[in-house]
Amino acid sequence: MSHQLFQSAPNKGEQAQRRLLLAALEKFGDKGFENASVREIADEAGQNVAAISYYFGNKESLYVAVLSGIGDYLDKVYAGVTHEVVTLEKEGGLTAEVSRELLKRVLKTLLNELGSDPLSRIRNVMIREQSSPSPNFDVLYQRTLLPLHRLLALLVGTATGSDPKSTATILRSHAIFGQVIVFQIARSTIQRRLGVEKLKPAHFAEIATLIDQHIECICNGLNPIQP
């Protein structure tokens, strides 16, 4: 299921704000924060430039709102599995075997969003913030990316019998997550390699199977479950 990017808008004022946020996301992603002008954003949204000041205050506040909206979207994507992990950890049910399955679920949750309109829209801003973090990167990092990374490390650590806070586990978690991210940020390469214009449902089904196999190989190699 694809989740909506930015809150739905029941009235004209909120509709205008959402159009500005979507336009800003596109322009900031294409040009970066410094090079995207408020006039371009307003024109793209079909709004007066003054609307940006009215709703957001200034360009930087608009950018912060965009990052917050990205965070909201990612929070919604992972809400279900996050709640389950937190509950199991509190109840003492987060075993190595359970963690393996939840780890697969975390990765396939992202896989299911690949190609969706929201993820395609946020891609460029996310890449820019990773390659050259803005002063507002913490808006996204502290609120959304860090908790998600800690969740991933908890599952990887529990599944492999390692300390979730260790450098090795944190690095391993990042590498594991990367095997899904690469199908978004380097999609043109794999499409060219496969000789297709667009990845099809059959490709995503095969990627999901490969993810399961990779997690089993990693976990069996580091922490085999005894029958």
Tokens encoding 170 = 């944190």
- 67-222, CATH topology level: Tetracycline Repressor; domain 2 (1.10.357)
Q: What are phi and psi of 32, to 5 degrees?
A: 90, 165
List the chain domain ranges.
9-57, 67-222
Half-sphere exposure of 182 (CA within 13 A, CB side): 10
**pTM above 0.85?**
yes
Sign of the torsion formed by the C-alpha atoms of 24, 7, 131 and 214: negative
Which SS3 state, helix, strand or coil, does residue 17 take? helix
End-to-end alpha carbon distance in the chain: 36
Closest CA to 191 of 202, 181, 200: 200
DSSP single-letter state for residue 161: T
What pLDDT is stored for residue 90 in this prediction? 95
pLDDT tens per residue, range 122-176: 999 999 999 999 999 999 999 899 999 999 999 999 999 999 999 999 999 999 9
Tokens encoding 29 = 């992603």
Closest CA to 95 of 171, 154, 176, 169: 154
CATH number of 9-57: 1.10.10.60
pLDDT tens per residue, range 53-96: 999 999 999 999 999 999 999 999 999 999 999 999 999 999 99
The answer to whether 158 and 85 are in contact (CB under 8 A) is no
